[in-house]
Amino acid sequence: MSQMADFIVFDGASVPVQQDLVAISSKTNSRGDTESVWRTATPGLPANLQLEVLQIQSTLPSGVVRTETRTTVPVFETVAGGAPKMLFTDNLVTISFAHPSSTIDGRRSARHLHSNVLMGANWTSPAIATGNIAEGMDLLATPL
């Protein structure tokens, strides 16, 4: 299992705003699912007003691995001289199901295609850089 790490995302504004997501916690819940949380750490804002990413991974009785990724974007107002007030949250949830026979490349390709569908991508995006030929060219480690 990989270690949690901070990461950066940008919003879709005309002048993109950088959001630094900080690794908050990773734990195994009572059902045996792994739950990981990342949150922005904007000074002066309480935790419930920070952008948050939650990922929950579980193995179903069939052996299929279910991974849910939830992004919560709080919408709030600040009245002059007052504390910020939560109005509502915008949420996006993506759930993937990986069959025990699936491969890393197959899952990566499905995720890549799904991302392109969400973005309405109608162009050729860079090829996934895995596999014998790509590794041979990129890593100079031609397979024998």
- Res 63 pLDDT > 70: yes
Domain positions in the chain are 1-102, 103-144
Centre a 10 Å sphere on the Cβ of residue 77 and count the other Cβ atoms it contains. Answer: 9
Cα distance between the two ends of the chain: 28
Q: Which of 114, 60, 70 is nearest to 93 (CA)?
A: 70
pLDDT tens digit sequence for 29-42: 899 888 889 899 99
Looking at the structure, give the CATH architecture of the domain made up of residues 1-102: 2-Layer Sandwich (3.30)
What pLDDT was estimated at residue 144? 26
Long-range contacts of the stretch 105-108 (C-beta < 8 A, 24+): 105/130, 105/131
What pLDDT was estimated at residue 61? 94
Average pLDDT, the chain: 79
What residues contact 1, with CB distance under 8 A and at least 6 apart? 34
